[in-house]
C-alpha cells in the first residue's frame, strides 16, 4: 500500500489555513517537519470527497493539523454563540474526513491549536466556542500580546502521559493564541494538560501510535526549543515507523 522504501523520509500532510479561496501555510510548520526528519506536503482545500481523504491517508505517513479559524459548532451539536469567530466550512469538512481516516488506519496525527480542537470534534468531543464568554471564573490570558516565541502561561501535565514523557516533567510554560478550547474530551482521548484556570491545553490517545493535540503553538518557538523538538521529533518518528509497518 505505502510506496515508502526503508530509507525514505516519512511524508507528512499539513493542513493549511483557508483564507479567501487561498490555502495559506505558515512555513514554520513545514520547517519543523523538515528539521525533524520528515518531508512536508501541504494539502489544499479543493472540495474533494471523503474518498479523496481516504486515498490521501493511504499514501501519507502522518497528518499535521495547523492552527487557524474557529470550528463550526454544528460539528459538536451546538448553535453558534455571539463569541464565535470566523469559520471555514471547507476546511472543517476536509480535516474531519482526514482525521477519521488517519485514526482508523492508526497513522499519526498531531494537532496544533485549532488542530487539537478539530481533532477532538472529529472523534466526538465538544469545544468551548469562546472561552471568554463561556468559562467561569474568567480565564487567564490565552490570547497573548507577547511575541509568539515567548511562553506566557504555565501548564500542569498529567503524570504518566506521553506528553509528560516528552516534556520530561509535569510543568511547562507555553505560548497561547486561542479563544476556543476543548470542553469535553472525545471518547478515547485523555486530557493531559491544563492551565490554572482549567482550560484544556493537551489531549492524547493512549491506544494509538501517535494521536496528540496541543493548544499552544510549538512551531512558533525557536529552532532549539526543547519541548517543540521533542513533540515534532516524536511525531515524525512515529510517522517513520508507520511507513515501515505499511511496507511489510
Nearer to Mn ion, 123 or 193 (CB): 193
State the minimum distance, in angstroms, from the CB of residue 181 to Mn ion: 7
How far, in Å, CA of 43 to CA of 65, rounded? 10
- Tell me whether residue 113 is one of the annotated catalytic residues: yes
CA distances, 31 to each of 103, 183, 210 (Å): 24, 31, 20
Q: Which range of residues in 102-110, 141-149, 183-191, 224-232 is near Mn ion by CB under 5 A?
A: 141-149
State the minimum distance, in angstroms, from the CB of residue 215 to Mn ion: 5
- Tell me whether residue 135 is one of the annotated catalytic residues: no
- Tell me whether residue 219 is one of the annotated catalytic residues: yes
CA angle 27, 29, 35 (to 5 degrees): 100
Largest CA distance in the chain: 53
**Are the beta carbons of 187 and 123 closer than 8 angstroms?**
yes
238: cell is: 512515529
Active-site choice (95, 101, 204, 219): 219
CA angle 134, 138, 144 (to 5 degrees): 100
18 to 47: interface string for Mn ion, x by CB under 5 A? ------------------------------
Active-site choice (75, 113, 172, 179): 113
State the minimum distance, in angstroms, from the CB of residue 220 to Mn ion: 13
Nearer to Mn ion, 15 or 215 (CB): 215
How far, in Å, CA of 33 to CA of 173, rounded? 22
The size of the interface with Mn ion (CB under 5 A), counted in residues, is 2
- Helix, strand, or coil (residue 7): coil
**Are the beta carbons of 248 and 7 closer than 8 angstroms?**
no
Site for Mn ion in 157-186 (CB under 5 A): 176
227: cell is: 519541548
Residue 142 near Mn ion by CB under 5 A: yes
What letter does residue 146 receive in the DSSP assignment? S
Nearer to Mn ion, 101 or 219 (CB): 219
Residues in a beta bridge with 143 = 177
| Residue of minimal Cβ distance to Mn ion | 176
State the minimum distance, in angstroms, from the CB of residue 45 to Mn ion: 27
Active-site choice (75, 178, 179, 217): 217
State the minimum distance, in angstroms, from the CB of residue 30 to Mn ion: 24
Which residues sit at the interface with Mn ion, rule CB under 5 A?
Answer: 142, 176
Task: Report, as residue numbers or ranges, the catalytic residues.
Answer: 113, 217, 219
Amino acid at each position: 500500500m505505502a510506496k515508502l522504501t526503508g530509507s525514505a523520509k516519512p511524508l507528512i500532510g499539513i493542513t493549511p489555513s483557508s483564507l479567501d479561496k487561498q490555502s495559506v501555510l505558515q512555513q514554520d510548520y513545514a520547517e519543523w517537519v523538515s528539521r525533524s526528519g520528515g518531508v512536508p506536503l501541504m494539502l489544499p482545500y479543493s472540495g474533494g470527497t471523503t474518498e479523496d481523504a481516504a486515498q490521501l491517508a493511504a499514501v501519507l505517513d502522518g497528518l499535521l493539523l495547523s492552527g487557524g479559524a474557529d470550528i463550526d459548532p454544528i460539528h459538536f451539536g451546538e448553535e453558534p454563540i455571539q463569541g464565535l469567530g470566523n469559520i471555514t466550512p471547507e476546511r472543517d469538512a476536509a480535516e474531519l474526513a482526514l482525521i477519521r481516516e488517519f485514526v482508523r488506519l492508526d497513522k499519526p496525527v498531531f494537532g496544533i491549536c485549532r488542530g487539537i480542537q478539530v481533532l477532538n470534534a472529529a472523534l466526538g468531543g465538544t469545544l468551548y466556542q469562546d472561552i471568554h464568554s463561556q468559562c467561569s471564573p474568567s480565564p487567564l490570558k490565552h490570547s497573548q500580546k507577547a511575541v509568539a516565541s515567548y511562553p506566557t502561561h504555565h501548564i500542569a501535565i498529567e503524570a504518566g502521559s506521553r506528553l509528560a514523557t516528552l516534556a520530561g516533567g509535569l510543568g511547562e510554560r507555553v505560548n497561547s493564541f486561542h479563544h476556543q478550547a476543548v470542553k469535553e474530551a472525545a471518547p478515547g482521548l485523555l486530557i493531559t494538560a491544563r492551565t490554572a484556570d482549567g482550560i484544556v491545553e493537551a489531549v492524547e490517545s493512549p491506544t494509538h501510535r501517535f494521536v496528540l493535540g496541543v493548544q499552544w503553538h510549538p512551531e512558533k518557538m525557536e529552532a532549539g526549543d526543547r519541548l517543540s523538538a521533542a513533540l515534532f521529533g516524536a511525531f515524525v518518528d512515529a510517522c517513520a515507523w508507520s511507513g515501515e509497518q505499511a511496507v511489510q
